[in-house]
């Protein structure tokens, strides 16, 4: 039996909440979304929260930490708008 299944036999696990809503509180600018890696990208990137995993990783860590501090057992990846390659 996996560790998660074992814990679920005894209690409910708490999942994190909305990543996007938490990231909006940072009020990132277009330049923040771009970072160094995407500074010359020809299209606007503001609002593409998935990119923040690359350009603002400390913010992603902070949001996850806040959910753990609030009692979450599990946090999800910051991949709301991600798709498969190909």
- Contact between 16 and 64 under an 8 Å Cβ cutoff? The reply is yes
Q: Rounded to an integer, what distance in angstroms lies between the CA atom of residue 84 and that of residue 73?
A: 27
The pLDDT value given to residue 84? 76
Closest CA to 76 of 22, 19, 2: 19
- Contact between 48 and 33 under an 8 Å Cβ cutoff? The reply is yes
The pLDDT value given to residue 76? 95
pLDDT (tens digit, 9 = 90+) per residue, 6-64? 999 999 999 999 999 999 999 999 999 999 999 999 999 999 999 999 999 999 999 99
Q: Find the farthest-apart pair of alpha carbons in the chain and give their distance in angstroms, rounded.
A: 52
């Amino acid at each position: 039996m996996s560790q998660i299944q074992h814990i679920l036999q005894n209690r409910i696990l708490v999942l994190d909440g909305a990543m996007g809503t938490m990231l909006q509180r940072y009020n990132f600018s277009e330049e923040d979304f771009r970072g160094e890696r995407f500074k010359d990208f020809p299209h606007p990137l503001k609002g593409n929260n998935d990119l923040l995993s690359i350009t603002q990783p400390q913010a992603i860590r902070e949001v996850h930490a806040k959910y753990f501090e609030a009692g979450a057992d599990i946090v999800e990846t910051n991949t709301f708008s991600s798709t498969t390659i190909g």
